[in-house]
Amino acid sequence: MKKIVPIEISARHLHISQSDFQKIFSQAELTKYQDVSQPGQFAATEQVVLIGPKNKIERVRILGPFREQTQVELSQTDCFTLGITAPVRESGDLSGSGSIQIQGPAGMMDLREGAIVAQRHLHIPTDLATEWGLVNGQIVKIAVSDGPGGQIKDLVFDEVIVRISDQFKLACHIDTDEGNAAGISKQAEGYIIE
């Protein structure tokens, strides 16, 4: 039996600490815009401008809740546009990552490290991970295929990091560049290659 996995595009976004948020917004709390697929997480109404040496990208959404450390998740194309270098990293692995300027309505901050291209990853609830024989931090391959005449290109995503939690809903997250390579506009289904 195939281990079917929903694949979701994770567009550029920002996770922010409460102290950094207060510096550039002059308010205490994020305003919830809508829930996102992972339980307890949400897109905020608040947006920022990301500024690099070459260019800027406006209306970048903040995801809540607050994090301990501010983190900007970009695609390689975003990095080229901005003129910055950001390593491919797992979320939260920010030591030595890229620098970027972040502008809000009440000010600007220089983020010395925190810009990354997020490593593709699989969110999976604990019970399903146990059933499928997966362990946290394991690397898997996920294939996508749409069949003859479909819009999705046959492709295998290698180096997908398994992330397990009772709080997670099953989903593989890829960035917009990866989604474009596979012809995925918003969502698709894939399966884990044994």
Same domain, 95 and 124: no
Same domain, 179 and 148: yes
Domain assignment present for residue 5? The answer is no
Same domain, 101 and 140: no
Q: How far is it, in rounded angstroms, from Cα 156 to Cα 165?
A: 24
CB atoms within 10 A of CB 30: 20
Domains contained in the chain, number: 2
Range of the domain at 66: 11-118
Which amino acid is residue 164, in one-letter code? Answer: I
Q: How far is it, in rounded angstroms, from Cα 183 to Cα 173?
A: 15
Return per-residue pLDDT of the chain as tens, 194 residues.
789 999 999 999 999 999 999 999 999 999 999 999 999 999 999 999 999 999 999 999 999 999 999 999 999 999 999 999 999 999 999 999 999 999 999 999 999 999 999 999 999 999 999 999 999 999 999 999 775 556 778 899 999 999 999 999 999 999 999 999 998 877 789 999 97
Same domain, 57 and 137: no
Q: What pTM was estimated for this model as a whole?
A: 0.92
Q: How far is CA 33 from CA 37, 39, 65, 79, 104, in A?
A: 13, 15, 12, 26, 17
Same domain, 22 and 109: yes
> Pick from 66, 85, 118: which residue ends a domain?
118
Q: Is 5:170 a contact under the CB 8 Å cutoff?
A: yes
Same domain, 82 and 162: no
